[in-house]
C-alpha cells in the first residue's frame, strides 16, 4: 500500500499524528487488501473562521475512490474525525463484499 502525506509548512502537523494515521491506514489495508493507495492532506482553511484545520483522506480501493474531509479546531481533532468516519465506511465496504448477491444451493432433495 502506498501512503502519501501532504502537509503545510514543517512542524504544524506533529509527527505522532502522522504516525497514528499511517498505523490506522495500514490496519485498514490489513482488513481489506484491495486498498492500494491513501493520500492524506492537511491544510489550514482560510475563510470565515481563522484557525480551522482540515484533514482529508482519499483511499483508492480496487479502482474506486473513497474521500473523507473534516475540519476542526486542531489537526489532531480533524484527523480523529476523518479516521472515525473512514473506519465506518471501510467496514461497510467489507461487509458488502462478504454478503453474496444471490443465495444459491446445489443440494438435491
**pTM, 2 dp:** 0.82
Instruction: List, for residues 43-99, the tens digit of each pLDDT value.
Output: 987 766 656 899 999 999 887 899 999 999 999 999 999 999 999 999 988 888 776
User: How far apart, in Å, are the Cα atoms of 107 and each of 13, 98, 104?
Assistant: 59, 22, 9
Q: Among 55, 59, 52, which Cα is nearest to 93's? A: 59
Structural domain harbouring 58:
2-98
103 domain-assigned? no
The number of folded domains in the chain is: 1
User: Is residue 106 a part of any domain in this protein?
Assistant: no
CB neighbours of residue 44 within 10 Å: 15
Residue 16 lies in a domain: yes
DSSP 48-89: SSTTEEEEEEEEEETTEEEEEEEEESSHHHHHHHHHHHHHHH
Residue 108 inside a domain? The answer is no
Assess if residue 63 is contained within a domain.
yes
Q: Grid coordinates representing 70?
A: 473534516
- What average pLDDT does the segment 9-17 reach? 85
CATH number of the domain residue 24 falls in: 3.30.160.100
Domain assignment present for residue 105? The answer is: no
Amino acid at each position: 500500500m502506498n501512503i502519501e502525506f501532504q502537509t503545510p509548512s514543517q512542524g504544524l502537523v506533529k509527527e505522532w499524528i502522522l504516525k497514528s494515521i499511517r498505523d490506522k491506514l495500514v490496519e485498514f489495508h490489513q482488513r481489506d487488501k484491495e486498498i492500494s493507495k491513501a493520500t492524506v492532506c492537511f491544510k489550514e482553511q482560510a475563510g470565515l473562521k481563522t484557525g480551522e484545520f482540515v484533514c482529508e483522506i482519499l483511499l483508492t480501493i480496487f479502482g474506486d475512490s473513497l474521500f473523507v474531509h473534516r475540519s476542526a479546531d486542531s489537526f489532531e481533532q480533524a484527523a480523529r474525525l476523518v479516521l472515525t468516519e473512514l473506519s465506518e465506511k471501510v467496514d461497510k465496504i467489507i461487509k458488502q463484499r462478504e454478503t453474496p448477491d444471490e443465495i444459491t444451493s446445489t443440494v438435491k432433495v
